[in-house]
Chains A and B, each alone.
Chain A
Amino acid sequence: MVPADHSQVAKKNYLLASLPDKEFERILTHLSPVSFDLGKVLYESGDRLDYVYFPTTTIISLLYIMENGATAEIGVVGNDGILGIALFMGGDTTPNRAVIQSAGSAMKMKAADLKAEFTLGGVFHNLLLRYTQALITQISQTAVCNRLHSLEQQLCRWLLLSHDRLDSDKLVMTHDLISNMLGVRREGVTLAAQKLGTRGLIKNVRGTITVLDRQGLENAVCECYSVVNAEYNRLLGRGISRTFA
């Protein structure tokens, strides 16, 4: 028997919320809530996947690990998605590192249960495939953004992506962690964050960044942000952006 409040919590995840009642009730029996602290590593590159996660309030960063240990974020998964697509794409292990970028909760599901549900075909199966395409778009756009746009623009994109996936305007996040995500030196992040602070877009206070002027960030960000949002809208029928949705 599933506790009644699980249903409410699970529906904070867009993918789960978009399932028809029948499928939702069935999937719900496989889900259990879990919460994560900032910086927790959900899995390392090469790890076997025992669970997949549907974030409800937490944000998970997908990091690519270079041979020398340097990391760069290739995608972000929040209440818009699912962590663990490797599983239904045929791999049991993952070449990425998944790390909690913002503390919060998720619903977890056993790998075997997900595989069984995926194999059934139907709405859930199709939804996961469409989400995969949305993630591909996000990763491709990150690649372009890394090539073509300034650190300041990228920081704006990163802040907006995070802001969209949070209930609050406060992001608990050190410049050190951001530098790991963006794959740049911490000094670079600090400088870019100061610039945004001076323009009154954000407030930096010891490990917390507060979004003061969302519209200002949207004016300063590169088009990669709206491109990805438009694609999510097209593919999943729902954008992620707080303002563009």
Chain B
Amino acid sequence: MPPAHVGGSDIFDIGIVRPFLCRLLFTTRVEIQGDTMFEITKPNNSLLAALPPQTYQAVLPKLESVKLNAGDRLYGPGDDFTHVYFVESGIVAMLVVIDNDLTFQCCMVGDEGMIGVPVFLGIKTSGNRAVVQCPGTATRMKNTDFFEECSTNSDWSAIMREFTYSTIMHIGLSAACNRFHNLEARLALWLLMTHDRLRSGEFIITQEFMSYMLGVRREAISKTAASFQQRQLISYSRGDFTILDRNGLEKIVCSCYQPISVH
């Protein structure tokens, strides 16, 4: 079933990478028709990297590398899960959707995490929407294979339990943050979190997309972004965002900001 999409192209399969090929070909960074692929034997994703090497080797045949294009919808409310996605680069936004219209980002997932926690918890259909916020790549696995691994292998379940718990805390924090903090602090938070996950201060994003994420009107984003620009914290032009003064943003951000540990 091809995933529905918003404003981007469908997820493009790079193809199934077989373990013996990995060992032969992908021990170094290689270029394939302009697509940069990293050696898959050393995953960039923190969860996959945390698996003991033999456990990881054992699931390699079940892993598949996919491209994440900006705006791709991995799944929406009511969709059956087909795969789980371990983000290798880029960012996927988890959104709560109200009345098919209003959305709000409850969680931001980069290479520290994965999309598909409900599958681990034994749930077959999604209640949220997962949208690619910044393009990159992911390693995906069929939901049935993943569930099987988590049910039979304690390495997998231990890692997933911990990640699930950190996700709950992340969402709890965003609930509290929304209650107490103004848009300026929340926008600074969102920019710093994006920066951390991309390890780059330059990204492409529309103000409309940001308004979906932060659950405010686009005009409010424009106004706050303009004020940041005036203070030379960021530069913004037609969707190109550059963080100029990270320290400045750290002074504005609320206490909710927790830098992710960089592996």
Contact = CB atoms under 8 A, between A and B. Distances in A.
Interface of A: 62, 64, 66-68, 70, 72, 74-75, 85-86, 88-91, 95-96, 121, 126, 129-130, 132-133, 135-137, 139-144, 146-148, 182-184, 223-224, 227, 231, 234-235
A133 B123 contact: yes
Closest 9 CB pairs of A and B: A89-B165, A143-B175, A67-B255, A64-B176, A74-B172, A183-B179, A72-B176, A146-B178, A129-B121
Contacts of B102: 144, 148
A133 B173 CA distance: 17
Interface in B157-213: 158, 161-162, 164-165, 167-169, 171-176, 178-180
A140 B158 contact: no
A96 B179 CA distance: 16
Given A90-B162, A91-B165, A143 B174 contact: yes
B104 interface: yes
Contacts of A183: 176, 179-180
B179 A146 contact: yes
Contact of B98 (A70, A121, A227, A235): A227
B176 A89 contact: no
Given A183-B180, A235-B123, A140 B151 contact: no
A144 B98 CA distance: 9
A72 B175 contact: yes
Given A74-B172, A139-B175, A140-B175, 14 more contacts: A64-B173, A64-B175, A66-B180, A72-B175, A74-B171, A85-B168, A90-B161, A129-B120, A133-B121, A144-B104, A146-B179, A148-B98, A148-B104, A183-B179
B180 A70 contact: yes
A240 B174 CA distance: 25
Contacts of A64: 172-173, 175-176
B121 A223 contact: no
A185 B104 CA distance: 24
B117 interface: yes
B96 interface: yes
Given A130-B122, A133-B118, A90 B178 contact: no
B41 interface: no
Contacts of B98: 144, 148, 223-224, 227
Contacts of B256: 66
Contacts of B13: none
A135 B162 contact: no
B92 interface: no
Nearest to B174: A143
B93 to A, nearest CB: 13
B186 to A, nearest CB: 9
Most buried by A among B118, B127, B164: B127
Given A90-B161, A95-B169, A223 B99 contact: yes
B106 interface: yes
B248 interface: no
Contacts of A62: 172
A115 to B, nearest CB: 11
Contacts of B178: 143, 146-147
A140 B128 CA distance: 10
10 contacts: A66-B255, A66-B256, A89-B161, A89-B164, A95-B172, A133-B121, A144-B215, A146-B176, A148-B98, A234-B125
A130 B164 CA distance: 12
Nearest to B216: A147
B181 to A, nearest CB: 9
Among A74, A96, A183, the one with the most B-chain Cβ atoms within 10 Å of its Cβ is: A74
Contacts of B104: 143-144, 147-148
Contacts of B165: 85-86, 89-91
A89 B123 contact: no
B158 A90 contact: yes
B25 to A, nearest CB: 36
A142 to B, nearest CB: 5
Contacts of A227: 98
Contact of B179 (A67, A68, A72, A223): A72
A146 B127 CA distance: 19
Nearest to B151: A121
Nearest to B106: A140
A143 B106 contact: yes
